[in-house]
Chain A
Amino acid sequence: MTRKEHIEQQVEATLSSLNGISRAEPAPFFHTRLMASMEAGRLTATDQFARMISRPAFAITMALVFLLLNGVILVGLLRSRQGNTVEDPAQSLAYEYTHSTPNNTFYANNPEHP
Chain B
Amino acid sequence: MSEQILIEGLRRGDQAAFTELVETRQSLVYNTVLGLLQNAEDAEDVTQEVFIKVYESIGQFKGESALSTWIYRIAVTRSLEHLRMKKRKKRFAFLTSLFGENNEPLHEPKEFNHPGVQLDNREKGRVLFARIAELPENQRIAFTLHKVEGLSYQEVANVMRTSVAAVESLIHRARQNLRRSLEDYYKQQG
Tell me the smallest distance from the CB of A17 to a CB of chain B, in Å. Answer: 4
Residues on the A chain within 8 Å of B178, using CB: 15
Contact (A7, B187) CB under 8 Å given A27-B44, A37-B48: yes
Check if A21 is an interface residue, CB within 8 A of chain B.
yes
Within the complex, the shortest CB–CB distance from A60 to chain B, in Å, comes to 35
Residue among B26, B43, B115, B128 making CB contact with A14, cutoff 8 Å: B128
> With an 8 A cutoff between CB atoms, is A71 at the interface?
no
Q: How far is the CB of B173 from chain A (nearest CB, A)?
A: 14
Contact present for B117 and A31 (CB under 8 Å): no
- List the A side residues contacting B114 at CB < 8 Å: 18, 21, 24
A105 at the interface (CB under 8 A from B): no
B183 touches A26 (CB 8 A): no
User: Residues of B at under 8 Å CB distance from A?
Assistant: 19, 22-23, 26-28, 30-31, 34, 43-44, 47-48, 51-52, 55, 114-118, 121, 124-125, 127-128, 147-150, 175, 178-179, 182-183, 186-187
- Offer 22 A-B interface pairs, CB within 8 angstroms, sorted by A: A8-B183, A14-B124, A14-B128, A15-B179, A17-B124, A18-B117, A20-B118, A21-B114, A21-B118, A21-B150, A25-B115, A26-B30, A26-B44, A27-B44, A30-B44, A30-B47, A31-B22, A31-B23, A31-B26, A33-B48, A34-B22, A38-B52
